[in-house]
Amino acid sequence: VDRIVPAATPETLQEIADQLGVYDPCAIACEPFRQWVIEDNFVNGRPAWDKVGAQFLRMLCRSK
């Protein structure tokens, strides 16, 4: 996944510090991203998870 990671601003660094409780001058923020991918191989029917954003694939392979 290609994610956009802009340079951190003082405001971004402060927001991160507020959330984590520690200041890190090298912290970065990136755009939010989620992907739910499931192998379409069920023994008792397919759940309707695609209605909430899941993607079903015929086969999933581990990346090396």
Compute how many other C-beta atoms are within 10 angstroms of the C-beta atom of residue 29. Answer: 14
Interior angle at CA 37, CA 32 and CA 43, nearest 5: 150
Q: What is the mean pLDDT of residues 44-56?
A: 92
In sequence order, what DSSP letters do the residues of 1-64 get, joined into one string?
-----PPPPHHHHHHHHHHHSS--TT----------EEES--SS---SGGGGT-EEES------
pLDDT for position 5: 82
Q: Which two tokens stand for residue 57?
A: 């694939």
Query: In the chain, what percentage of residues exceed pLDDT 70?
Result: 94
pTM for the model: 0.49
